[in-house]
Amino acid sequence: MSHNSRTIVFVFSALALALSALAPAWAHHGEANYDQDKAVTVTGKVADFQFINPHVLIYLDVKGEDNTVTRWVGEATSPNLLLRRGWDKNTIKVGDVVTATGHQAKNGSPTLRLLKVVLADGKEMNDL
């Protein structure tokens, strides 16, 4: 094998190794950790609204029947997609009371992959 051939093989091998190391960063976690067989609906006061990448997050303080408050986290799609669907960083404000429907985390934690949000004014936001 000539010097040039070895150099080409080395460069391509190094490139392949570098790309394979980056693959997990490109992978998306999907929705496997959510129970997609049933939807859960909660209503609560918005504690935080993060219109950020990679997923928009809505934090809700939900009061239970025993008056204990549980902080739920609703995960939507990316801000870019939500912008195209009429959302922006001011769609939801801290203190708003909203109703969120989504698939709950399989581990039972108060986490939803959002399907729909009903805003304080009654407007429904779908395709999340």
Pairing between β-strand 97-104 and β-strand 69-75 as defined by DSSP bridges? unpaired
Residue 9 domain flag? no
Residue 32 domain flag? no
Residue 29 domain flag? no
Residue 2 domain flag? no
Residue 11 has pLDDT above 50, yes or no: no
Residue 17 has pLDDT above 70, yes or no: no
What DSSP state is assigned to residue 61?
E
| Number of domains, the chain | 1
Burial class (CB within 10 angstroms; exposed 0-12, middle 13-18, buried 19+) of 4: exposed
Preceding amide of 54 cis, omega within 30: yes
| Whole-number average pLDDT of the chain | 84
Residue 92 domain flag? yes
Instruction: Name the pTM for this structure.
Output: 0.76
Give me the percent of the chain exceeding a pLDDT of 90. 71
Residue 62 domain flag? yes
E strand or H helix at 44 = strand 40-50
Ranges 27-41, 57-71, 95-109, 114-128: which has the least confidence: 27-41
| Average pLDDT rounded to a whole number, residues 21-31 | 47
Identify the CATH number of the domain in which residue 111 sits.
2.40.50.1010
Residue 80 domain flag? yes
Q: What pLDDT is recorded for position 32?
A: 81
Residue 15 domain flag? no
Nearest alpha carbon to residue 120 among 97, 101, 100: 97
Q: Of residues 11 and 102, which shows the higher confidence score? A: 102
Give yes or no for a contact between 73 and 100, defined as CB atoms under 8 angstroms apart: no
Give yes or no for a contact between 98 and 118, defined as CB atoms under 8 angstroms apart: yes
Write out the residue range of the structural domain in which residue 112 sits: 40-125
